[in-house]
Amino acid sequence: MTIAYTPWPETFTQAYRKKGYWTDRPLTDLIDNAPQDNIAIVCGERSLTYRDVCSQSKKLAIYWQTLGLKSGDTALVQLPNIAEFYVVFFALIRLGVAPVNALFSHNESELSAYAKQIQPRILIASSRHALFHDALFFKTLCQASDVLQHALIVGKSEWAESLDSVLERSTDMPLHAEPSRADEVAFFQLSGGSTGTPKLIPRTHNDYFFSVRRSAEICHFSPSTVYLCALPCAHNFPMSSPGAFGVFHTGGHVVMAPSPDANTCFELIEHHRVTVAALVPPALALWLQAAPSHQKAITSLTLMQVGGAKLSESLARQVPKLLGCQLQQILGMAEGLVNYTRLDDDIDTIVTTQGRPMCSLDEVKVIDEEGNEVAANVAGELITRGPYTIRGYYKAPEHNAKVFDSEGFYHSGDLVCRNEKGYLTVVGRDKDQINRGGEKIAAEEIENLLLKHELIVHSALVSMPDAMMGEKSCAFIVPKIASHGMKNVTLRKYLRGFGVADYKVPDRFEFIESLPLTPVGKPNKVALREVIRQRLKQDSKR
Ligand code: J2J
């Protein structure tokens, strides 16, 4: 059985193969073909060689084979930054089972939404997450799914099988299964989203493997690369740009950081002689503040990658001086397209742009509201298609009709300027999303929950500027009655009651008599952003 997805038309797939971009190899080759004696992952006190990762993932796959998991099944995975994330990933891939890797910050609401969409056969989670201290939430998920039967917990568990106990058992059974075909879905990435339900991104072996290989080449990864995984390991950036997978492809090793906190990371950098790190701008700002008193600890760093949200030129310029290494900017998206500044670019290009596409078959257009391409250095929407950019979200025909055009271009909603050399600079956004320091919030998702409140008539979530995070979220609320008595704390508690991830809970609430509307009658978010901008200005004068 295969998992349905929107395929690339044959004329394109032929070109991608002819160019050597698609190699028809499974993602398991990343670890199976690596130098087996090399260290692959350092996690706390543990070091795993490639041989360890291969054998553990095989053992796990064999165990799941005995449970009846098979090609075409799906899995819901939520793990923190630990080595087991990769062991589990490759075990599932060996069986042709496609995982969705939820972020560790996700909660009941997100996990339930993903489970509803993919109908997983198995849940793999961590005992560290409050949701999995007991069987309650797993049972709730099972009630909503016909096929969910199994759970595996990383860490100690009283209610489910634990990964350690599976790996401790000896097995001499062979693995009969194979990964899904290279032009079929390998796993699902998460979309930042702009709609009420989070969309899933089906990624094939061919397209993802190519993006990993080409990224590793652009970033000069080698067997001596020591990569610090400080961002959530399930995110597309630390997974594939070039991320951990780029490291596996080149035989280097990944050091797992429990968080991007500067002190924690500087210790790891010093101890493991880390050469490359990847961060979002708010975390970079904290590293830059802390760097002067840690100069000796970070001498091994050669490359600091920054992406996920807009990096200011002033912060960018501080990187070489304060971190003693080169900066690379990345404009990427889990839907595919990734742009990099190149290591030999001049410093002005590196600090003022977010790079250019990674390969010659990435087609990028910058268009105006009528769909016409704009001239160089004029702002417009970035649209794209290419060898690793999806042609459609998973099971989302209505949304796909809106964001993929008839020629298969993905309309990113990012407003960019492209210079004469093809480098892109992000100047804004035309999608209903808040980018809270790299964490994406779909406005509609939170608005829908607020609208369920008996005292709320209308709600609109917009971004507001924030010195540290770049953007934070502000919910405008039209109450049913003037004497509503709603307080920020109670609204936060109310939203948390739905089990949404913490980063999605609005940073600020503003009560308003009515929402300003656009000529077509939609909430005028441009006007609302201006209202909150003015209020913030007044607050700062007080
Ligand atoms: C401004 N906005 C940016 C940047 C992404 C590598 C790096 C990042 C992501 C990622 C990724 C930006 N400046 N440098 O998947 O492989 C915003 C844009 C974009 C959206 C995608 C990767 N880099 N963005 O951030 O799927 O709005 O991927 O469309 O999480 O983040 O978000 P996401």
Confidence of residue 146 (pLDDT cuts 50, 70, 90): confident
- Segment 9-19 shows an average pLDDT of 98
The answer to the question of residue 238 being in a domain is: no
Indicate whether residue 157 lines ligand 1 (CB < 6 A). Answer: no
Q: What mean pLDDT comes out for the span 244-249?
A: 98
Q: Is the CB of 414 under 6 A from ligand 1?
A: yes
Residue 148: pLDDT band with limits 50, 70, 90: very high
Residue 516: the pLDDT is: 95
Q: What is the 3-state secondary structure (H, E, C) of 282-323?
A: HHHHHHHHHHHHHHHHHCCCCEEEEECCCCCHHHHHHHHHHH
Ligand 1 atom nearest residue 440's Cα: 30
Q: Whose CA is nearest to atom 31 of ligand 1?
A: 308
Residue 485 maps to a domain: yes
Above pLDDT 90, what percent of the chain?
Answer: 95
Report pLDDT digits (tens) over 369-424: 999 999 999 999 999 999 999 999 999 999 999 999 999 999 999 999 999 999 99
**CATH code of 515's domain:** 3.30.300.30
pLDDT in the model for residue 519: 87
| CA nearest ligand 1 atom 5, residue | 308
Phi, psi torsion values for 521, nearest 5 degrees: 90, 15
State which residues form the domain around 136. 46-179
Q: 187, 394 in Cβ contact below 8 A?
A: no
- Closest ligand 1 atom number to CA of residue 306: 14
pLDDT band for position 224 (cuts 50, 70, 90): very high
Kindly state if the Cβ of 336 falls inside 6 Å of ligand 1.
no
Compute the distance from residue 314 Cα to the ligand 1 centre, in Å.
20
Q: CA-CA distances (angstroms) from residue 90 to 27, 35, 285?
A: 8, 17, 34
The residue out of 146, 179, 212 marking a domain boundary is 179
Q: Establish whether residue 107 lines the binding site of ligand 1, counting it when its CB lies within 6 angstroms of any ligand atom.
A: no
Measured at the CA of 497, the angle between CA 493 and CA 502, to 5 degrees, comes to 70
Asked if residue 506 has its Cβ within 6 Å of ligand 1, the reply is no
- Is the pLDDT confidence value at 283 over 90? yes
Distance CA 370, CA 392 (A): 22
pLDDT tier, 309 (very low <50, low <70, confident <90, very high otherwise): very high
Q: What is the dihedral of CA 435, 437, 441, 442, to 10 degrees?
A: 10
Residue 440 Cα to ligand 1 midpoint, Å, equals: 9
pLDDT recorded at residue 267: 98
Tell me whether residue 396 is in a domain: no
User: Has residue 527 been placed in a domain?
Assistant: yes
Query: Which residue of 329, 331, 410 sits with most ligand 1 atoms within 8 Å of its CB, as the best mutation to test the pocket?
Result: 331
Q: What is the pLDDT of residue 485?
A: 87
Interacting residues of 96 by C-beta distance below 8 A, sequence separation 6+? 70, 71, 72, 73, 177, 178, 179, 180
CA–centroid distance, residue 237 to ligand 1 (Å): 8
What's the structural domain count of the chain? 2
Q: 49 CA distance to ligand 1 centroid (A)?
A: 31
Does 67 reside within a domain? yes
Q: Is-above-0.85 flag for pTM?
A: yes
- Return the ligand 1 atom nearest residue 190 CA: 26
Q: Looking at residue 154, what is its pLDDT? A: 98
pLDDT of residue 170: 81
- The string of pLDDT tens digits covering residues 60-99 is 999 999 999 999 999 999 999 999 999 999 999 999 999 9
Q: Which of 179, 208, 235 is the last residue of a domain?
A: 179
State the pLDDT at residue 172. Answer: 77
Evaluate if residue 496 carries a pLDDT over 80: yes
Residue of the CA atom closest to atom 25 of ligand 1: 308
Q: Is residue 24 part of a domain?
A: no
Q: How far is the CA of 398 from the centre of ligand 1 (A)?
A: 23
Q: Which atom of ligand 1 is nearest to the CA of 354?
A: 14
Q: Is 437 in the pocket of ligand 1 (CB under 6 A)?
A: no
CA triplet 83, 248, 94: central angle to 5 degrees? Answer: 70
Query: What's the per-residue H, E or C state across 219-260?
Result: CCCCCCCEEEECCCCCCHHHHHCCHHHHHHHHCCEEEECCCC
Q: What are φ and ψ of residue 143, in 5° steps?
A: -65, -30
Residue 1 lies in a domain: no
pLDDT in tens, 502-524: 999 999 999 999 999 998 888 99
CATH number of domain containing 90: 3.40.50.980
Q: For residue 144, what pLDDT band results from cuts at 50, 70 and 90?
A: confident
Residue 542 pLDDT: 81
**Cα separation of 389 and 16, whole Å?**
12
Q: What are phi and psi of 413, to 5 degrees?
A: 80, 0
Q: What is the pLDDT of residue 422?
A: 98
CB-facing half-sphere around the CA of 50: CA atoms within 13 A: 21
Q: How far is the CA of 26 from the centre of ligand 1 (A)?
A: 26
**Per-residue pLDDT at 196:** 82
What is the reported pLDDT for 443?
96
Q: How far is the CA of 337 from the centre of ligand 1 (A)?
A: 9
* pLDDT at position 197: 85
Q: What is the mean pLDDT of the segment spanning 450-468?
A: 96
52 lines ligand 1 (CB under 6 A): no
Kindly state if the Cβ of 329 falls inside 6 Å of ligand 1: yes
Asked if residue 309 is part of any domain, the answer here is no
CB of 354 closer than 6 angstroms to any ligand 1 atom: yes
Q: Which of 446, 452, 454 is nearest to 509 (CA)?
A: 446
Which residue would you say has higher pLDDT here, 170 or 20?
Answer: 20
Tokens of 9: 């038309």
Domain's final residue, options 179, 208, 233: 179
Structure confidence by residue, pLDDT tens digits, 424-448: 999 999 999 999 999 999 999 999 9
Is the pLDDT reported for residue 117 higher than 80?
yes
For the beta sheet containing 470-479, the strands, ordered from the edge strand earlier in sequence to the opposite edge, are: 456-466, 470-479, 508-511
